[in-house]
Amino acid sequence: MTLNNIEEIASFIVEDGKGILAADESNPTCGKRFDSIGVESTEENRRDYREMLFRSKGMNGNIGGVILFDETIRQTSEDGTLLRDLILNQGALPGIKVDKGLQPIEDCPGETVTIGLDGLDERLKEYASMEAKFTKWRAVINIGDGIPTDKCIDANMQALANYAKCAQDNGMVPIVEPEVLMDGEHSIDDCYAATDRSLKSLFAHLEKNDINIKGTLLKPNMVTSGKDSNDQAGIDEVATKTLECLIKNVPVELPGITFLSGGQSDVLATAHLDAMNKIGGFSWKLSFSYGRALQAAALKAWSGKPENVFISQDELSHRAEMNKLASLGQWEEELEDR
C-alpha cells in the first residue's frame, strides 16, 4: 500500500470502520495477563501469542493498525517472517508505543506525568526504519479528592504535544492518549469535567506546538461512571455525554478518534461505540483502539495450547468484526450470539 504522508496514514487507519488492535502491553503487563491463564511469560510465549493474533483472518478488513511493544516490533514468527510483516500482509499498519511509563509529580499526591522524551528522536528514527507508521503515548489522569490538578493536566498535555511534534518530524502519525482513569467511585459528571479539562489543555498545547491535526489520531477514554460507583450510567448516557465532550473540544479536521476500552467488558465497549455512531453528528471517524476488549476472549480460549489456536483466532476475529460494525453504527446485540 502506498501512503505518501501522515495525513494519508491517519485516514487509512480508521477508514471504512477499521480500528486499532492495541498489542503494546509491556512485559510485566503481559505477564499478568498470562498469569490469569497459567502460562509463563517468556519471550517465546509472548511471540507465539502475538503471532497467533496477527495471523487471525478477522484482522483483514477490520483492523487498520496494530500498536506494538519494543520487543514485538523486533521479533520474527516461527517461520522467520517479521511480526510487523504479518501485520502489513493483513492490510494493517504497524505502530509503536514510545512512552516510558509514569513518574510521580512532586507536590501532587496521587498524580503522575508520563516520561520518555529523552532520546525520543533517536528511538523514533529507528522505529521509522522498521516500518512503524504511527506511534502512541499515554498520559494518565486520576480522579479523586482535589484531583486532577491543573499542574498534572498541563504537564501531561505538554508532554503529549512535545511527543507529537517529534513523531510528526519523523514522518509518523502520533496517537495522543489522554486517559482519564475509570478507577474510583466518581460520577459520570466528575469524569466529564476531568475529560473536558484534559482535552481542552491537550488541543491548546498541540496548537502551540504547531501539530498537524490532520496527521494525528486521538485515543481518549469514554465519559463513564467510576468503576466502583454505585450509580452506573447507562449506554445512552455514556454515548451522549462522551459525544458532547468531544464535540466541544476536538477540532473537526482531526481524522479519527479511536477509543480505549479502559477496563470495560468487551461487549460493553462495543455497545458504547455503536451507540455513539448511531447518534452521529460529528466530522471525525469514531472507532476503537482496544487491548483487553479485543484480546480477552482470545487469550482465555488460547490458554497457551497450540491446539486452541484456531478457536482463539475466531474469538479475536469476532471481536474485530463486531467493533468494525460498531464503528459504522451497524452493531446489534443479537450478533453476539454465536
Catalytic annotation, residues: 177, 219
Residue matched to cell numbers 498541563: 154
Cell of 215: 496527521
Cell of 124: 523514533
- 161 to each of 112, 123, 204, how far by Cα in Å? 17, 17, 9
Residue matched to cell numbers 466530522: 283
Q: Report how far residue 1's alpha carbon sits from residue 64's, in angstroms, rounded to the nearest whole number.
A: 12
- Per the document, the length of the chain is 338
- Give the 3-state secondary structure of residue 217: strand
Cell of 331: 452493531
- Give the 3-state secondary structure of residue 111: coil
| Residue from 88, 72, 82 nearest 23 by CA | 72
Please answer whether residues 186 and 229 qualify as being in contact, where contact means their C-beta atoms are separated by less than 8 angstroms. yes
